[in-house]
Structure 1
């Protein structure tokens, strides 16, 4: 399978510093970005910074680079065949508008060349859209167009033993 470039973007009505704080909170006790109420919690061996190792569920990685308030890149170490990285980054569009991005770049090798498109990428897309929903909720107090899990994602979650969806009926930050 050739290289996978997977980009998710959310434009937020908030200053860059406020959105950058969401990235800085990843894996901490007050994580405001990772939707751990619905997905395996992101855990790292120490504070968010270069060299910290961890992951979420069976996905393992180490922090390759981290610029506080701006960007964090994670290099995959598992599952087998994952060769690549994922990262969150913020980009100012104006004083009060910021673009939050998540980029996944993967060159899957066997067995990931089979499992990535069938299992990992659909789950990844749903998880990242939930992250972006949570970011929007954190900085604006609402979600204009909440992401919805497809029937396929719901089936994959059931097979994986993840809880059924109780979507944004309450503020998970409250």
Structure 2
């Protein structure tokens, strides 16, 4: 199955300010990834091309990297996820920046079911939480994207499973 999953968010800040936040991704001072509610993004060799890492059960390798502007990953796990995901920022105007995340992949039959039933829902919630984190960094009014019932069920299931292991 061909998967194209895209998320965008407008941030009412100049690109230079948003770029500074992006430089903290996957560092001990990460100001993008919602590490309080999701598994942290980690890389064995830090943020550089060729470094392997991921978050939770999702694994990938960095294949493109422009600090503070763009990072592109190639999936290595789960098996059957053949493609990339990318996070980038773009200046829309002098004081407006757009954050963009896109997954482009082809999936095997088994991976397609995994994507449709489980991963897509969790992924969408995670990315919206990350975008909320960025937006909230610059705002007094805190944004919080509400989870669907299915996402709450899946998060509860995986949390219970992790406790048992």
Relative to the length of structure 1, the TM-score reads 0.88
Judged with a 3 Å threshold, the aligned counterparts in structure 2 of structure 1 residues 64 and 142 are, in CA distance, closer, same or farther, namely farther
What's the counterpart of residue 106 of structure 1? Answer: 105
Larger fraction in strand:
2
What's the counterpart of residue 86 of structure 1? Answer: 85
- Separation in 1 of the partners of 2:116 and 2:68? 32
Deviation at 1:4, TM superposition (A): 1.1
- Separation in 1 of the partners of 2:141 and 2:20? 18
What's the counterpart of residue 159 of structure 1? Answer: 157
Deviation at 1:141, TM superposition (A): 3.9
**Greater Cα offset, 25-34 or 13-22:** 13-22
Deviation at 1:104, TM superposition (A): 1.0
Aligned length: 160
Relative to the length of structure 2, the TM-score reads 0.92
What's the counterpart of residue 71 of structure 1? Answer: 70
What SS does structure 2 have at the residue aligned with 1:26?
A: coil
Deviation at 1:23, TM superposition (A): 2.1
- Separation in 2 of the partners of 1:142 and 1:6? 28
Given that 1:136 and 1:142 are in contact with CA atoms closer than 8 Å, whether structure 2 keeps it comes out as: no
- Separation in 2 of the partners of 1:57 and 1:83? 18
Structure 2: tracts of 5 or more residues without a match: 161-165
- Separation in 2 of the partners of 1:53 and 1:21? 23
Deviation at 1:60, TM superposition (A): 0.2
- Separation in 2 of the partners of 1:49 and 1:102? 19
Q: Over residues 116-168 of structure 1, what are the superposed CA-to-partner deviations in whole Å (9 max), with x where a residue is unaligned?
A: 0100000000000000000101123433x531100000001111117xxxxxx
What's the counterpart of residue 147 of structure 1? Answer: 145
Q: Over residues 63-96 of structure 1, what are the superposed CA-to-partner deviations in whole Å (9 max), with x where a residue is unaligned?
A: 1100112100011000111111111111101111
- Separation in 1 of the partners of 2:94 and 2:44? 35
What's the counterpart of residue 28 of structure 1? Answer: 27
Structure 1: tracts of 5 or more residues without a match: 163-174
Larger fraction in helix:
2
Q: Over residues 25-53 of structure 1, what are the superposed CA-to-partner deviations in whole Å (9 max), with x where a residue is unaligned?
A: 11101000000100011111122121111
Deviation at 1:110, TM superposition (A): 3.2
Matched, 1:58 2:67: no
